[in-house]
Amino acid sequence: MSVKKLAKEDFAKFVEALIEKDNVIGVQAKGERFDFAPLESAQDLRLDYDVTLQPPKKYFLPPKEVLMTFEVGGAYASEYEDETFVLLGVHPYDVVGINQMDELFSQDNYDTHYMKRRNNATIIACDVVTPSENVFASSMKTAVVKEGFDILLTDLGDSYVAEAATEKGEALLAGAAEADDAALQAREAVWAKNQKALNKHELECDAAYLPKLLGRSYDHNVWDDMARTCFSCGSCNQVCPTCYCFNVQDDVNWDLKTGQRERCWDGCLLDGFTKVAGEHEFRDQRAHRFRHRLYRKAKYVPAKIGGQIACVGCGRCVGACLPGIANPVSVYNRLIDDLGIG
């Protein structure tokens, strides 16, 4: 696949052309923060953003979606959204998040609802220009990505290097000039910088060691200590690019004969998440739910996706947690300090 270079004004034209022919969702300002939203003009695009309020997950797994419609006593019919779209400006750590979700939703039992949206998407990633205040992608080895996108943009000041990684990306970049050696070297420098710079919280071990660390930490007092001030509000779940637990509910139309089955985001931190009919709740302690989330990120989910750590270091949970206890790095570091590595 090819690596192209686009001057900034040509890039703006590229974006305008993209908006003409597809649904483009791009990063834009939202108050003093940033978020993904439908893009109407290249001017609104802010590829210099630090982090978006929500991860791009919602375009594949929306907060609420209709899975199927039904007739009472009759058949069920799958419902799908089937429109192509372009996600423009996905940071490397979020690309990793999407790739992990792809694996989780396609393995064992293929989730056609997630995967149809995913297959309809074109992902244009961009290297981080402004590190956010809580990012720790460098620690999680997600500061730079080499795969999982259709196009990767790297800002070189007056131009972008644009690498196509798929046929889809290649087609979009047709016509652009090849990147010269100087541009490629400048891109290497951006990568080298980001590998280190996206590290506002530094994990004191190699991320690959985390599953082993947690293998020794189940009864550690950190869980009770931290969860003492946990609201069980699920904010950490809601903003996480790799949290994908969901609830399913039926609702009927006013005819009481037809209706739809919907799925909506859920969260393992929430009270009632494991409660069965008859009121027994299997993880009724805040500390156990708090531990469960951090075990999912660095032990349980990694076992399903070839050892990849399911925390991508975006830092959103750190900022979203009101009592300030959600930072995975502080918890893991405390375990390392207490238990050592080995």
Partner 1 sequence: MCQCCSEKKDIYLPELATVVKADAMNVTEKYLKLSMDGGQFDYVPGQFVEVSLAGIGEAPITITSSPTQEGGFELVVRKIGNVTNAIHTLNPGDKLGIRGPLGDGMYPVEEAKGRDVVFICGGLGLVPQRSFINYVLANRADYGEVTILQGTKCFDQRLFTAEIAEWENRDDVVMLETLDEPDEKWNGNVGVVTTLVPKVKTDWSSAVVSVCGPPVMYKFVLMALEEFDVPHENIYLNLERKMKCGVGKCGHCQINDIYCCMDGPVFRYSDLATMPEAI
Partner 2 sequence: MSKPTIAIFDFACCEGCQLQFVNLEEELLDLLGVADVVEWREAMSEKSDEYDIAIIEGSITRLEDEEKLKLIRSRAKVLIALGACATIGGVNKLKNNFDDLDEVKKCVYGKDASKPHLATQETKSVGEVVDVDFCIHGCPIDRAEFTYIVRCLVMGKTPEIPEYPICVECKANGNPCLWDEGQVCLGPIIRAGCKARCPSNGFRCFGCRGYIDNPNVEAAKEVIDKYGLNVDDLKTKMILFGSRQEPTIHG
Note the residues at the interface with partner 1 (CB under 8 A). Answer: 67-68, 70-78, 80, 82-84, 104-105, 108-113, 115-116, 119-120, 218, 244-252, 256, 259, 261, 263, 266, 268, 273-278, 280, 282-283, 288, 292, 295-296, 299-300, 303
Shortest spacing between CB 46 and partner 2, in angstroms? 16
Residue 175 CA from chain centroid, whole number: 31
Tell me which H or E stretch contains 183.
helix 181-197
320 interacts with partner 2 by CB under 8 A: yes
The partner in contact with residue 274, picked from partner 2, partner 1, none with C-beta cut-offs of 5 to 8 angstroms by kind, is partner 1
262 binds, among partner 2, partner 1, none (CB under 5 to 8 A by kind): none
Which CB, 75 or 174, lies closer to partner 1? 75
Residue pair 197/91 in contact (Cβ under 8 Å)? The answer is no
List helix spans (H) across 6-148. Answer: 8-21, 92-106, 112-119, 137-140
Q: Is 25 in the site for partner 2 (CB under 8 A)?
A: no
Give the closest residue to 312 by CA, choosing from 123, 127, 125, 92: 92
| Contact string (CB under 8 A) for partner 2, positions 246-285, x = contact | ---x-xx-x-x--------x-x--xxx-------------
Task: Tell me the Cα Rg of the chain.
Answer: 21
Which helix (H) or strand (E) segment holds residue 3: the answer is: strand 3-7
Pick from 307, 161, 319, 170: which is nearest to 239 by CA? Answer: 319
Does residue 216 bind partner 2 (CB under 8 A)? no
Token pair listed for 266: 């859920």
The residue ranges that bind partner 2 (CB under 8 A) are 30-31, 33, 35, 53-54, 58, 63, 228-235, 238-239, 249, 251-252, 254, 256, 265, 267, 270-272, 286, 319-320, 322-324
